[in-house]
Amino acid sequence: MTENRRRILIVEDDRETAEQLVEFAEANGYEADLALNGEEGFERGRSPDYAVMVIDRMLPSIDGITIIRRLREIGIVTPTLIISALGEVDDKVRGLRAGGDDYLVKPFAFAELLARVDALARRSTAVVKDMVLRVGDLTLDLVSRSVTRAGREIELLPREFQVLEYLVRNEGHVVPRAMLLQHVWDLHFDPTTNIIDVYVGRVRRKVDSSRDYPLIHTVRGVGFCVRAPS
Amino acid sequence: MAIAGFGAIVLSLLGYIYWSTTSYVASRTDRVIAAEQSLLQAAYDRGGRGALVAAIKARIAERAVDGGLYLLADQNFKPIAGNLADWPRDLSSGNFDAPGTGRRSSYRVLVRTLPDQWRLLVGQSTEDLESFTRAIDAALAFTLLLIAMLAGVVSILVTRRTVGRIESINATSRAIMERGLAARIRLRGVNDEWDELAKNLNSMLDRIEALMREVREVTDNVAHDLRTPLARIRGRLEKASGTPRKAESDQKLVDDTIGDLDGVLRIFSSLMRISQIESAARTEGFAIVDLATIARDVVELFDAAAEQKPITLSVAGDPCVVVTGDRDLLFDAVANLVDNAIKYGKKNGMVTVTVRALEHEALIAVADDGPGIPSDEFAHIFRRFYRLERSRCTAGNGLGLSLVAAVAHLHRARIDLKDNQPGLAFRLLIPSGNTTPEDRA
C-alpha cells in the first residue's frame, strides 16, 4: 500500500520531543510542519491542507483542547491526535475518541503514534465496501464470514473473524492493541495484561501455522500488523 | 434562642392557665346569679309580689353565709325586701355593704325590672373568686420561680457538660496536631449525641490513619516495584557504557530497556487509573449494562489464555442481569478477576464466571478450583501492590485487585471472598437499584 506524501501539523512545545516527532513522521512518508506554541498551532491549523494534526494537550497560553475547539468552531475538521500526559484520567481527552479524534498517552512508542496518525489519515479516504478482502493467499469473505488460505478453509470464532478482519482492513499498517480492543470489543481502556497478545496469538496459530509464510506480525510494544511478503 | 423559646412557652402556658381558671370561676358566679334570678322570677310568676317577697326571705335564710345579695325595690327604688339596706347608688362599681356586717365588698349583680316597674336585684359576692384568683396567682408565681430555677440549673449543667465534651474533643485535636494520629476522643459510654459525634470522629480518624498507612505502604511498594526495573536499566546502561559497541548486544540492551520502561509506565498508568476511579469522578459514564453480556465477552476474550494453561473457562447463571454501571470498568474488573483465576488456578482445572439476579442485588462471581489462598490473607489482598509471597515470581504488579476494589466501591458493590473448596471464589454484589452517588446524596 503506497501513501501519497501527506502533510501533518505537529503542535508541541518541548523542542526535543517536537523534533523527534518531525523526524519520525518524515521518515515514514509524511511532510511535517511544526508549531512550538498554541497561537502558532492555531494559526497554522486554520489551513485545510493538513491530513492530520498532532497536538500536545498541555501547551503554554492556549491549551490543546481549546485549539481543537476553536478550529472546529471555524469549520476546520482535520482529524486530530491529542497527546496527553494525563490520558485516561483526563475526561476531556477521553471524550475525543467519541468525537472521531484520538488521543495518546505520554510517553508513547513512536510506532504507536504512527499507527494512530495513519489511521486518522486513512479515515477520510478509504471506506471501500468490499465484499471480499485479500492479503497474499488469505481470503476473507465478509458475506459468508468464511476464511480461506491457499484455498483451504480456516475455522474462526466470530470474534476471531472480527479481529482478523480489522487487521486485514489495515493491511500494511500497525494496529495498536488498544485500537484493536476499541474496535473489536468496544472497550476504551488499555489492558495491563497481555491478554490481547494471547488472543491474537490464537488467531495467528489458526491462520499462519504450517503455511508458506506468516501474515500476522507482532510489533513489539505496540500491536500487530498484517503484511504479505512482497 | 432555645431558652427564650422555652420561656415564652412557659409564660404563655401559665397565662392560659390563669385566664381559663379565673374566667371559669367568673362564669360560675354568673350562673349562680342567673339560677337565683330565675328561681325568684318563677315565684313571682306563680304568686305575684307576695310570693316573691317570701321567696327572697327564704333564699336569704338559706344562703346566709354564701354571700348572696337580694333586693326588691318599688318604682322609686325604695327597698321592699332583701338583705341590702339601700338601692345602690352606683351599680357599675359592684361595691356594696356586705349584708349584716357593714363591711364593703365586691359583688356581681343582675337587675331585672318587673312588669309593674318594681326592680329585683340579685347579686353574688366575688370574694370567693378573688381569694381563688389570689391562690392561683401564688401557685403560678411559685411554679414560674421553680421552673426558672430548674431551667437555670439544667442549663448550667448542660453548658458545663457541653463545654466539657467540646474541651475533650479539642484536647484530642491538639494531641493529634502535636503527636500524630494515634489519639482518640474518650467516650462517656452513655450513648448520647456527644458519644455519637465522638464515635464518628474516631472512626474518621481510624479511616484516615488506615489510608495514611496504606499510602505509606503503597509508596514503599511503588518505590520497590519501580526501583527494581529502574536499577536494572541503570546497571545495564552503566555496564554498556564501559564496553565497546556491538550491534547485536546493543540491540538486546535497547530492547530490554524499552521493555523495562514499559513495565514502569504500566505501573504508573494502573496507579493513576485506580486513583481516578477511587475519586469517583467517573459516574457520569454510568449506563444500563448487562452483566451477563460482560461476563460472556470477558470469557470470550480470555478463552485463548485459558486454552493455553489449559483451563476450562465458562459462563453460568442467568442470561441477562441488568445493572447501572460503567461497562469499561466492570469489564476491566471482571477481566482482572478472570485473569487472576487463570493465573493462579490449577492446570486442567475450571474457572467459572457466574451471573445471577438476586432479590436486591446482582451477583457476578469468578470461581476457580486451584490452590486458593489462606483465609487469613483474605483481608489484605485488595491492598495495593499486595501479593502473596508465593506469587512474587508470577508476572503482574499486584494492582489488579485494588482496581477491582475501586470499581466495586464506585458501583457501591460488595466484594466477598469465599473458599470454593477447593479454590477461591470472588463475588461482586452490585445493588440492583444502583444509582450514582449524586442521586443518592
Separation CA B63–CA B116 (nearest Å): 27
Averaged pLDDT, B326-348: 88
* Beta carbons of B176 and B207 less than 8 angstroms apart: no
Residue type, B283: T
Q: Which of residues 110-129 of A touch B (CB under 8 A)?
A: none
In this prediction, residue B389 carries a pLDDT of 46
Q: Which residues of B touch A220 (CB under 8 A)?
A: 255, 258
In this prediction, residue B393 carries a pLDDT of 43
Please report the sign of the dihedral spanned by the C-alpha atoms of residue A153, residue A154, residue A160, residue A164: negative
Q: Is the pLDDT of residue B270 over 90?
A: no
Residue found under cell 466484594: B415
Q: Is the pLDDT of residue B71 over 80?
A: yes
* Beta carbons of A87 and A45 less than 8 angstroms apart: no
Residue found under cell 442470561: B319
Residue found under cell 412557659: B10
User: How far away is chain B from the Cα of A187, in angstroms, using its nearest Cα?
Assistant: 6
Fold designation for B193-278? Helix Hairpins (1.10.287)
Q: Which distant-in-sequence residues (6+ apart) come within 8 Å of A219 by Cβ? A: A111, A174, A225
Model confidence pLDDT, tens digit, residues B343-367: 888 889 999 999 999 988 999 999 9
Nearest chain A Cα to B277, which residue? A89
Separation CA B265–CA A206 (nearest Å): 32
Domain residue limits, chain B: 2-132, 193-278, 283-440
Residue found under cell 509524511: A30
Separation CA A61–CA A38 (nearest Å): 6
DSSP-assigned beta bridge partners for residue B104 = B97
Q: What is the CATH number of domain B2-132?
A: 3.30.450.20
Q: Which distant-in-sequence residues (6+ apart) come within 8 Å of B253 by Cβ? A: B236, B237, B240
Query: How much of chain A is helix, strand and coil, in % rounded to 5?
Result: 40, 25, 40
From A2-6, B103-107, B264-268, B332-336, the region with the lowest mean pLDDT: A2-6
Q: Does A187 touch chain B (CB under 8 A)?
A: yes
Strands B119-125 and A102-105: unpaired
A216 closest CA partner among A148, A168, A159, A147: A168
Q: Is the pLDDT of residue B380 over 50?
A: yes
- In this structure, what C-alpha cell is assigned to residue B261? 520502561
From B116-125, B348-357, B427-436, the region with the lowest mean pLDDT: B427-436
Separation CA B264–CA B246 (nearest Å): 27
User: How far away is chain B from the Cα of A133, in angstroms, using its nearest Cα?
Assistant: 24
Q: Which distant-in-sequence residues (6+ apart) come within 8 Å of A197 by Cβ? A: A177, A218
Q: Does B280 touch chain A (CB under 8 A)?
A: no
Q: Is the pLDDT of residue B437 over 50?
A: no
Tell which wins on pLDDT, B89 or B242.
B242
Q: Which of residues 17-36 of B touch A (CB under 8 A)?
A: none
Instruction: Phi first, then psi: give them for residue B112, nearest 5 degrees.
Output: -130, 135
Q: Which distant-in-sequence residues (6+ apart) come within 8 Å of B399 by Cβ? A: A192, B267, B270, B271, B274, B384, B385
Name the CATH superfamily, with its identifier, for domain A6-123: Response regulator (3.40.50.2300)
Q: Which candidate from B284, B301, B303 shows the least CB-CB separation from A185?
A: B301
Q: How far apart are the first and last CA of chain A?
A: 11
Q: Does A107 touch chain B (CB under 8 A)?
A: yes
In this prediction, residue A2 carries a pLDDT of 40
Strand intervals (E) in B276-384: 287-290, 311-317, 322-325, 349-357, 361-368
Separation CA B389–CA B391 (nearest Å): 5
- State chain A's mean pLDDT as an integer: 84
In this prediction, residue B139 carries a pLDDT of 87
Sheet holding B95-97, edge to edge: B79-82, B68-73, B119-125, B104-113, B95-97
Q: Is A8 helix (H, G, I), strand (E, B) or coil?
A: strand
Q: Which candidate from B265, B281, B305 shows the least CB-CB separation from A195?
A: B305
In this prediction, residue B365 carries a pLDDT of 94
Q: Is the pLDDT of residue B271 over 80?
A: no
Residue type, B325: G
ipTM of the complex: 0.73
In this prediction, residue B322 carries a pLDDT of 92
Q: What is the CATH number of domain B283-440?
A: 3.30.565.10
* Beta carbons of A12 and A34 less than 8 angstroms apart: yes
- Which residues in chain A come in under a pLDDT of 50? 1-3
Q: Is the pLDDT of residue B72 over 50?
A: yes
Separation CA B75–CA B49 (nearest Å): 13
Q: What is the CATH number of domain A132-226?
A: 1.10.10.10
Q: Which residues of A touch B262 (CB under 8 A)?
A: 221
Q: Is the pLDDT of residue B276 over 80?
A: no
Alpha-carbon separation of residue B43 from B48, B57, B119, B150 (angstroms): 7, 12, 15, 58
Model confidence pLDDT, tens digit, residues B290-307: 999 999 999 988 988 898
The continuous run of DSSP H or E covering A152 comes out as strand A152-154
Domain residue limits, chain A: 6-123, 132-226
Which 8-state DSSP code applies to residue B234? H
- In this structure, what C-alpha cell is assigned to residue B237? 546502561
Q: Which residues of B touch A188 (CB under 8 A)?
A: 328
Q: Does A85 touch chain B (CB under 8 A)?
A: no
- Angle (CA) B378 B379 B380, round 5°: 95
Alpha-carbon separation of residue B173 from B241, B262, B270 (angstroms): 56, 45, 36
Separation CA B317–CA B312 (nearest Å): 16
In this prediction, residue A94 carries a pLDDT of 63
CA atoms within 13 A on the CB side of B181: 13
- State chain B's mean pLDDT as an integer: 82
User: How far away is chain B from the Cα of A198, in angstroms, using its nearest Cα?
Assistant: 6
Give one DSSP letter per residue of A36-85, joined into a string. Answer: SSHHHHHHHHTSTT-SEEEEES--SSS-HHHHHHHHHHTT----EEEEES
Separation CA A35–CA B222 (nearest Å): 37
Greatest mean pLDDT range, A29-43, A78-92, B274-288, B389-403 = A29-43
Q: How far apart are the first and last CA of chain B?
A: 30
Separation CA A8–CA A22 (nearest Å): 9
pTM over 0.80: no
Residue found under cell 488521543: A103
Q: Which residues of A touch B273 (CB under 8 A)?
A: 88-89, 189
Q: Which residues of A touch B266 (CB under 8 A)?
A: 192
In this prediction, residue A89 carries a pLDDT of 60
In this prediction, residue B435 carries a pLDDT of 44
* Beta carbons of B407 and B277 less than 8 angstroms apart: yes
Q: Is the pLDDT of residue B217 over 80?
A: no
